[in-house]
Amino acid sequence: MADSRPKKAKICLCIFLCLLVGGIIAVVVGVRMWRHSSEHMKWNGTGSTARFQEIVLERCYKYTQSVQPELRDRDCQKIREAFRNAFISKDPCSATEEDYHPLMKLVNQMVPCDKTVFWSKTKELAHQYTKVQRDMFTLEDTLMGYIADDLNWCGDAGSYEMNYQSCPHWKKDCSNNFVSVFWDLVSKRFAENACGVVQVVLNGSISNAFDRKSDSCSGSSINDLRQIIRQRNIKFTCQDNYSSGKFLQCVKKPGDSSCR
């Protein structure tokens, strides 16, 4: 009768090797998962907005069907997909304008001449104004601005998931993050497409209304702005209004007798 011991030894060796390989694989996977989890927690900014993709789609449908129905031919599903593809699986600190070009091609919205409103540190007031003057547009009254307003987003290199724990802070981590690059791009496009009379809502009673300390329309930073605008042969007018409460009331109720 043949000796079966060598065969058993081979079987035991194979089992041992399988267990060893399995253990190594488990360790590698565990390390990668730990590193992935650590990467999710390393940034100093707020994580991606919960339900980001659902919100993008909902806002797109609302804007194209109710707010500006003349844009109802825009494909919101493709817009959501292009938005996500712009940043997903990429280093959140390596964003470029080119990442958003496919998305920009899908929105392609032009604001009519004389209808553009810029703002700086006066978001609430500017938006109250465009709510009353419904044919006026801030950046957030455009399709892309409307969709992305107050949202945050980022992913991780090599991952198909969004990072809901943390995203890069533009000062503490990097300025070329996907949120900052996005707003720089859409702001630039919004400004480049402006034509005719352009209105700018600034708060001249705060410091740095325009780069430097300013108190009113006669303040130094506003004067700087006036000179820059006039050097480009653009008409500049500035109106002081020291009662912000009354101004807001008049924006909401322009027919009020106290506003005349």
- Note whether residue 62 is domain-resident: yes
Q: Is 179 part of a structural domain of the chain?
A: yes
Please identify which of the residues 12, 18, 113, 259 carries the catalytic annotation: 113
Query: Would you state the pLDDT for residue 122?
Result: 83
Query: 76 an active-site residue?
Result: no
Q: What is the pLDDT at residue 241?
A: 58
Report if residue 29 sits inside a domain: no
Q: What is the 3-state secondary structure (H, E, C) of the chain?
A: CCCCHHHHHHHHHHHHHHHHHHHHHHHHHHHHHHHHHHHHCCCCEECCCCCHHHHHHHHHHHHHHHHCHHHCCCCHHHHHHHHHHHHCCCCCCCCCHHHHHHHHHHHCCCCCCCCEEEEECCHHHHHHHHHHCCCCECHHHCHHHHHHCCCCCCECCCCCCECCCEECCCCCCCCCCHHHHHHHHHHHHHHHCCCCCEEEEECCCCCCCECECCCCCCCHHHHHHHHHHHHCCCCCCCCCCCCHHHHHHHHHCCCCHHHC
136 part of a folded domain = no
Closest CA to 168 of 95, 101, 102, 83: 95
113 belongs to the catalytic site: yes
Q: Is residue 97 part of a domain?
A: yes
Task: Provide the domain count of the chain.
Answer: 1
Which residue range(s) make up the domain with 187? 44-110+142-193
pLDDT tens track, the chain, 260 positions: 555 556 555 555 566 555 665 666 655 545 455 455 444 558 999 999 999 999 999 999 999 999 999 999 999 999 999 999 999 999 999 999 999 999 999 998 999 999 999 888 888 888 888 888 778 999 999 999 999 999 999 999 989 999 999 999 999 999 999 999 999 999 999 988 888 888 888 776 666 665 444 466 766 667 777 787 788 787 777 766 545 455 565 656 666 655 65
Among residues 14, 18, 195, 259, the one annotated as catalytic is: 195
CATH number for the domain including 90?
1.20.82.10
- Residue-level pLDDT at 128: 86
Answer yes or no: is 201 within a domain: no
Residue 155 belongs to some domain of the structure: yes
pTM: 0.70
In a domain, 170, yes or no: yes
